[in-house]
Amino acid sequence: MSTDFILFKETQFMGEVILNRPKVYNALNHDMILALYQKLRVWEKAPHIKLILISSSSDKAFCAGGDIKAVYEKGMAHHEELHQFFQSEYRLNHLIYHYPKPYIAFLDGITMGGGAGISIHGSHRIATENFSFAMPETAIGFYPDVGSSYFLSRCIDKTGLYLGLAGARIHAAQTCFLKLTDYFFKNISFEKIRSTLLSLESFSNHSIRECLLPFHHEEKLTDFPLEAIQRCFNASSVEEIFENLKTENTVWAKVTLKNLEKSSPLSLKTTFEQLQKAKNLDFSNCLKMESTLTKNFLKDPNFYEGIRALLIDKDQLPKWEPNTLALVSEKKINHFFCF
């Protein structure tokens, strides 16, 4: 599998991956996913490769997610073919989570959706001052996938539910606090980190951590409303979250409520249920649940309507069906969890 959109090279003992599709913020297409999976499999068995370093050729984005414009172009009539794309992506996520060698992700710029799937599951996640993270899928009539049900459901208090439902964008200090990333590097170049890694003589995860920790920048959280998130998202339903946000009545609460009100009601209720279930599932079973959800979302018009409204026509006026939370039945939600 060969593609110019993802580059591979071997430098001494390091396997390097460079995402190279900057015009679309390194959006992952099927060929890129297959190429990365195949190369990681080769390096997994190669005794001279001791660690993996993945980065981007652009400082604007590590990876903004999967190529969902291509999903829209295929359309609902090809849902089974589209499911193969997502299955390949989830297989890659599974490999990265269980990868036997250190997997270091240098996250500079936008990292969303599928970009999280090829980074957050790695053993070492480096976030720069340019890094921003989000799982914005409910806004396009989908749900947070790529194994995010596992890490979102394990975030402190109700922060994972907040991120999954509202698609909120957060930065490096916040992701380190939530343990979605391990290191915050400020004003440190990629080449400095690369050369430091190439000076290693021991390749254990402990040795790599000892190598990277001196560059870590500690920063106090001053703009993350942890207590408000807990008050508003500690709820038994999406409807209760809406009411809590109205009661909170702060700028943050108003912005969050506005974002939720724009999202697909079906996506919101399904995501709420997904993250409750994920608390009791291991990583592999989270991916199995997501595969089932994806199969059903691909047969539902809301996903395509969301892509159309936000990314194709850009009218920002998706016509959701159902169009209110009250009209999303429990039967409908349960159906989405059935293969």
31 in catalytic set: no
The secondary structure element, H or E, covering residue 307 is: helix 301-307
Q: Is 93 helix (H, G, I), strand (E, B) or coil?
A: helix
Active-site option among 67, 89, 108, 137: 137
Q: Are 94 and 283 within 8 A, CB to CB?
A: yes
Radius of gyration of the chain (CA): 20
114 in catalytic set: yes
109 in catalytic set: no
73's CB contacts (< 8 A; 6+ apart) are none
Active-site option among 15, 66, 117, 147: 66
Instruction: Give the phi and the psi of residue 216 in degrees, each rounded to 5.
Output: -70, 135
Active-site option among 145, 182, 290, 300: 145
Buried b (16+ CB within 10 A) or exposed e, 285-306: ebbebbbebbbbbbebebbbbb
Active-site option among 15, 114, 122, 160: 114
Quote the CA–CA distance of 62 and 20 in Å, as a whole number: 9
130's CB contacts (< 8 A; 6+ apart) are 59, 108, 109
15 in catalytic set: no
For residue 54, which of 108, 98, 128, 3 has the smallest C-alpha distance? 108
Quote the CA–CA distance of 178 and 182 in Å, as a whole number: 9
DSSP 65: -
Pairing of strands 132-134, 170-171: antiparallel
Catalytic residue numbers, as ranges: 66, 114, 137, 145
